[in-house]
Amino acid sequence: MPSLFSGYRLGGLELPNRTVMAPMSRVRAAAGGLATPSMAAYYAQRATAGLIVAEGAQPSLVGQSNPGTPGLSTDEQARSWRQVTDAVHTSGGRVFAQIMHGGRISHPETTGFQPVGPSAVPGEGNVFTPSGPQPVPVPRALATDEVPEHVRSYADAARRAVDAGFDGVELHGANGYLISQFLSSNANLREDRYGGSVRDRIRFAVEAAAATAEAVGADRTGIRLSPGGGFWGVVEDDAVELNTALLTELARLDLAYVHLEATADEETLLLLRKTWPGTLIVNPTLPGGPRWTGRAEADHWLDLGADLIAFGRGFLANPDLVERLRIGLPLAPADEATFYQGGDAGYLTYPTYRHPA
């Protein structure tokens, strides 16, 4: 079994260890979706990760899900990310941008537009808006001839990301956002080439990945998936068939990696491991399960065939997570009250481990 602390080659990158800082929304961008000096410091503090996947950045204004999130839809936004990528690289790290189109999980108060989705079916729950939580509205169903525009938005954002110094990009195909909505059996009720059969429901994801790989290189392109996950009311009735078909098609593109959340049972995830021939990142924490991914969960999935292990809250609260895991130091708890409140408290204020005098 490979060690969590052994090196790994990912495309053109040499990773010093197999830990991945998972993308986590922190809603600390400046007005206009611009990255900030605090964001640069935050990611630089965690540069000992084998790979950082930065928080989801919207590829278009209509694709913005929450207020305070950064973007990659304009050249100005891209330029603002340069301070982040420079800080990570100066600190010895490697960083991918996550491209996140919210689809129906958005609100006119946030973007000025009615959200869009594969069908006019609202998600479940409340979405954040500038005036507070609001019920998720009914989206406008995209016309068939509009869909390619949203496919291209991922590729266009990827070009901006690489121009801004990112080492690559991850498409957010998980957690009930736009790609996940097209995959879904209840959010996607289309009767054209993007809906109905499994073959057609995976089409949007495959086209977005193919366009992005063509734009920046397959070895710079990954995708995150949450097989069978029920986020924002999304359902995949045929999760095994769907995700097996999707990974089979994605394998033809020779992407840098697939990043799976452990939203399905272990048997299903092992089947998907066999289907996907390339680099596999696993985020082991199950919804409703342990609050942390720790060394035991990481070693378990490395033993089962994962190549890299993604950590969320662990990296959020422990900028020196790699060293803490390496020598068995206790992990600091994460303060949930500061996840999305803005400011530097609970963002830049988590210290590295202080050894007793």
- C-alpha distances (whole Å) from 70 to each of 27, 102, 161, 283 are 8, 13, 12, 23
* CA 295 – CA 297 distance, rounded (Å): 6
DSSP code, position 261? E
Which residue out of 42, 43, 177, 257 is catalytically annotated? 177
Nearest by Cα to 181 from 300, 100, 290: 100
Check: CB of residue 52 under 8 Å from CB of residue 68. no
Single-letter code of the amino acid located at 52? I
**Rounded to whole angstroms, how far apart are CA atoms 151 and 73?**
13
Name the strand (E) or helix (H) holding 183. Answer: helix 178-183
| Angle at alpha carbon of residue 233, lines to 317 and 191, rounded to 5° | 130
Contact 64/114 with Cβ under 8 angstroms?
no
Alpha-carbon distance 155 to 142, whole Å?
19
**Nearest partner of 101 among 46, 41, 142, 42, judged by Cα:** 142
Element (H, E) at 89: helix 75-90
> How would you class 290 by CB atoms within 10 Å of its CB: exposed for 0-12, middle for 13-18, buried for 19 or more?
exposed
Active site residue 257: no
* Spatial contact of 107 and 120, defined as CB atoms under 8 Å apart: no
Residues belonging to the active site:
177
